[in-house]
Amino acid sequence: MDNIKINHEKIWTEVKESLVRELPSHAYNTWFEPILPIAINETELVLEVPNQFFFEWIESHYHDTIESAVKEKFKNDFSVKYTIAPTGITGLPSNFENNENEQAQSESNFKPPVLNEHYTFSKYIEGANNQFAKAAALSVAESPGEKAFNPLIVYGGVGLGKTHLLHAIGNHLIAKTKSFNIICASSEKFMLDFISGIQKSKTVDFSRFYRQADVLLIDDIQFFQGKEQTQEQFFHTFNELYQSGKQIVLTADRYPGDMKGLDDRLLSRFNSGLAVDIQPPDFETRVAILLEKAEQNGLNLPYAMIEFMATHIKNNIRELESTIIRILAYSSLSNKEIDEKLVKRVVKERLGKRFLAEITIEDVIRRVSEVTSVSEKDIVGQSRKKELVEARQITAYLSREILGASLSSIGIYLGGRDHTTILHACKNIEEKMKSEKRMKHQVESIKNELSAATI
């Protein structure tokens, strides 16, 4: 067992080699590649998983598979235990021999969080929505402490990549030189450290810890709002670092000047640097993000499925990424291939009521135009040609069926027609669908595409 003690990584590598032969590739890539071997003793192998959801999934679906593989490989009555990676921290293998050091470190009140090694500039998908923010972050990473970009504040909505850029700056500096003292923390951690310092009469240690930074990275400064004493401490920390030529980078969910409950002195300091925003990604950027995430997970999706996801999931990069993971999860659970029906089901579940809310009558008109080869202008126009009237009536029927739009609102979109005309159009398409296979197939095809009604 002496060799086993110091070879937990080798053990896990050999176990994975047996698992990769037994499991579908997408299941293996999704659920086993991210697991890290942490430690081993005489009876127990400890594995680290990224988050609580991951742990619950492994525990309920793959625990027996893992434990059986370990026991079969080493003919030993091992059990397998899981630990969840600290928030934002990945890739931190350790072993039991380090327990004493880890315990000594845990007694320290103020420990710098480890940067997420996956958040790098090379993995940051650039688009028109974030190009300026990325360029500013990279400039700071190349030349920290320059007055023009100090502080740098990156702001924008939830899940748009602010934290990614924050950690990318730190990772770039570490790769460039080991001499920088980089401290990365959330605003909440800064506040809790301050409170802990007060409780344990170690405010001097707290101040010394944060003010020794060459580069200070603070995430989500909006949580400083209304916390006067924390703001006071941060103000003094900010001042000392700034005056010493140290780099400060902050993220926020909105422009700092729009935050209520922030001290004017802090706002003044924030305004002395550069504030850059990140907007929701455009369609092309969303497609690029989905393609990259799919590739990372060993998933080869047809472009039509990628386009469908990018069309409906618009405002949040985190939702785009988690949609890919959820598709893999469903596929693993049901042991089925990933197809269009599964993708639509996941997207609809992710968006809920927002899914239908995002579809408009204009979308219906556009899709009917593409399928029937009748121009959008003719669909809403006054021509009574048979093929144009039919396309117009299909549009009316689908707007009613999918969106539940009122007859009068549909009439307004379709050239100002009254509600009786729209009602007649809907009934006419219903009758044709009963008697004409061509019409039934055409209408149902458009309906399924727009509303995922087959799910």
Nearest residue to 342 via CA among 330, 356, 355: 330
CB 50 within 8 A of CB 31: no
Q: What is the mean pLDDT of each run of 10 residues along the chain (455 residues)?
A: 55 83 73 80 76 74 81 71 58 32 40 73 86 92 84 88 91 83 87 82 85 90 86 90 92 85 86 88 84 80 81 78 81 75 78 62 87 90 90 92 80 86 92 90 82 45
Q: What is the pLDDT of residue 93?
A: 30
- Residue 112: φ, ψ to 5°: -70, 125
- CA count, 13 A, side-chain hemisphere, 342: 19
The residue whose two tokens read 């950027």 is 285
Q: What is the pLDDT of residue 40?
A: 73
Structural domains in the chain plus CATH codes: 2-106 (3.30.300.180), 131-278 (3.40.50.300), 283-353 (1.10.8.60), 361-451 (1.10.1750.10)
Q: What is the pLDDT of residue 352?
A: 65
275-289 pLDDT, tens digit each = 999 988 887 888 888
Alpha-carbon gap, residue 113 to 139, rounded angstroms: 23
Query: Quick one: which H or E segment has residue 56?
Result: helix 52-61
Query: How many residues can be counted in the chain?
Result: 455
The residue whose two tokens read 């400083």 is 224
Three-class SS state of 146: coil
Alpha-carbon gap, residue 248 to 33, rounded angstroms: 35
Alpha-carbon gap, residue 204 to 281, rounded angstroms: 43
